[in-house]
C-alpha cells in the first residue's frame, strides 16, 4: 500500500503586485525606450558625433580671437537642436509603430501618466545632450583660445538659454508625435510647417506680428545673444502657439485614440 505525500503549499508574497508603477519607474522605462530601437540609438550616436565634428570644424576656421564660447556654442548646439525633436517624435509614435501601445496602456491604463513620463524622459535626455554639447564646446574653446579676452563672456546666461532652446524643441517634437501618432508625417510636419510659416511671415504685411509667432526666429536668438525682456516675450508667445497648444491637442488625442494589437 503506497502513501501519498502532500507537498506544503508555497507561500508567495503578493504584496505590491497590483500596485501601479511609480513615476520614477515609468520615466526609467521611457529613457530605456529611447535606446531600445535602432533609430533612437543611432540618432543619439549621430548627435554626439556631429557635435564633435561641427565644433572641430568651427575651431579650425578663423583666428583664435573669433573662437569665443558664444560663437562656438551657437554652432555646437545645432546637431542636438535638429535631431532631438525627431527623437521626441519617435518616443511617442513608437507605441503605435512598434505596436507596444497595447502592452503599455494595459499596464498603465491612465494614459496621461505615460505621456507625463515621456515628457520628463524627453526633458532629461535634452538636458543630457546639452551637457554633452557644452562640454565639447568648452573643451574645444579651452584648447583653441587660451587666454583670449572675452572668450567666456555671458557663458552662464547663454547656457541657461540653450537649455530652454533644446528642451522646448524636444517637447515640440513630443507634441507633434502625439498629434499624428505616426513618425514619418510627424517628422515632415515638424520641419516643413515652421519653414512654410516663416516664408509666409516674411511678407511685408506680417512684419508687425512676425516676431510674436515665428518660432524659428524667436528661439534661434537664444544661442546667439543674451535675450532682452522683449525677446523673451516673443519667445513665450511663439512657444504657446508651437509647443503648448500642440501638446494639449496631442494629450487629448492620446487619451482617446483606440489602441489595437
pLDDT for position 10: 64
Number of helices (H) and strands (E) in the chain: give both, helices first. 12, 0
- Does position 2 have pLDDT exceeding 90, yes or no? no
Q: Rg of the chain's alpha carbons, rounded to an integer?
A: 23
Average the pLDDT over 18-23 and give the result: 79
Tell me: the pLDDT tens digits for 77-87? 999 999 999 99
The alpha carbon torsion through 243, 244, 245, 248 (nearest 10 deg) reads 120
- Residue 30, phi-psi category: left (phi > 0), alpha (psi -120 to 50), beta (remainder): alpha
CA distance 35 to 168: 21
pTM over 0.85: yes
Q: How confident is the model at residue 1 (pLDDT cuts 50, 70, 90)?
A: very low
Average the pLDDT over 130-152 and give the result: 89
- Does position 13 have pLDDT exceeding 80, yes or no? no
CA distance 132 to 138: 10
What average pLDDT does the structure give for the chain? 89
pLDDT for position 257: 78
Tell me: the pLDDT tens digits for 164-193? 999 999 999 999 999 999 999 999 999 999
User: Considering Cα of 102, then 175, then 113, then 255, what sign does the dihedral take?
Assistant: negative
- Does position 162 have pLDDT exceeding 70, yes or no? yes
Residues 243 and 168 sit within 8 Å (Cβ to Cβ) = yes
Q: How confident is the model at residue 102 (pLDDT cuts 50, 70, 90)?
A: confident
Q: How confident is the model at residue 41 (pLDDT cuts 50, 70, 90)?
A: very high
Strand blocks (E) in 137-241: none
DSSP state of 99: S
Q: How confident is the model at residue 18 (pLDDT cuts 50, 70, 90)?
A: low
pLDDT > 90: percent of the chain: 63
Q: Mean pLDDT highest for which of 97-106, 165-174, 208-217? A: 165-174
Average the pLDDT over 210-226 and give the result: 88
Q: For the chain, how long is the longest CA-to-CA vector?
A: 104
Tell me: the pLDDT tens digits for 227-246? 999 999 999 999 999 999 99
pLDDT for position 174: 96
CA distance 207 to 203: 7
The domain segmentation of the chain, as residue ranges, is 23-256
Amino acid at each position: 500500500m503506497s502513501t501519498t505525500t502532500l507537498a506544503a503549499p508555497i507561500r508567495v508574497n503578493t504584496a505590491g503586485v497590483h500596485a501601479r508603477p511609480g513615476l520614477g519607474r515609468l520615466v526609467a522605462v521611457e529613457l530605456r525606450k529611447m535606446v531600445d530601437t535602432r533609430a533612437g540609438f543611432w540618432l543619439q550616436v549621430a548627435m554626439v558625433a556631429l557635435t564633435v565634428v561641427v565644433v572641430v570644424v568651427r575651431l579650425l576656421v578663423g583666428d583664435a580671437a573669433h573662437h569665443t564660447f558664444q560663437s562656438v556654442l551657437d554652432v555646437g548646439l545645432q546637431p542636438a537642436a535638429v535631431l532631438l525633436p525627431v527623437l521626441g517624435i519617435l518616443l511617442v509614435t513608437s507605441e503605435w509603430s512598434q505596436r507596444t501601445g497595447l502592452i503599455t496602456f494595459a499596464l498603465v491604463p491612465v494614459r496621461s501618466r505615460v505621456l507625463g513620463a515621456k515628457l520628463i524622459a524627453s526633458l532629461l535626455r535634452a538636458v543630457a545632450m546639452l551637457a554633452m554639447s557644452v562640454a565639447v564646446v568648452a573643451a574645444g574653446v579651452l584648447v583653441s583660445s587660451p587666454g583670449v579676452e572675452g572668450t567666456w563672456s555671458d557663458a552662464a546666461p547663454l547656457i541657461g538659454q540653450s537649455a530652454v532652446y533644446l528642451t522646448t524643441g524636444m517637447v515640440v517634437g513630443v507634441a507633434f508625435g502625439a498629434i499624428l501618432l505616426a513618425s514619418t508625417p510627424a517628422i515632415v510636419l515638424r520641419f516643413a510647417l515652421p519653414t512654410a510659416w516663416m516664408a509666409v511671415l516674411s511678407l511685408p504685411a506680417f512684419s508687425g506680428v512676425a516676431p510674436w509667432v515665428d518660432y524659428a526666429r524667436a528661439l534661434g536668438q537664444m544661442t546667439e545673444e543674451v535675450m532682452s525682456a522683449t525677446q523673451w516675450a516673443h519667445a513665450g508667445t511663439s512657444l504657446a502657439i508651437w509647443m503648448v497648444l500642440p501638446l494639449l491637442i496631442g494629450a487629448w488625442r492620446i487619451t482617446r485614440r483606440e489602441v489595437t494589437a
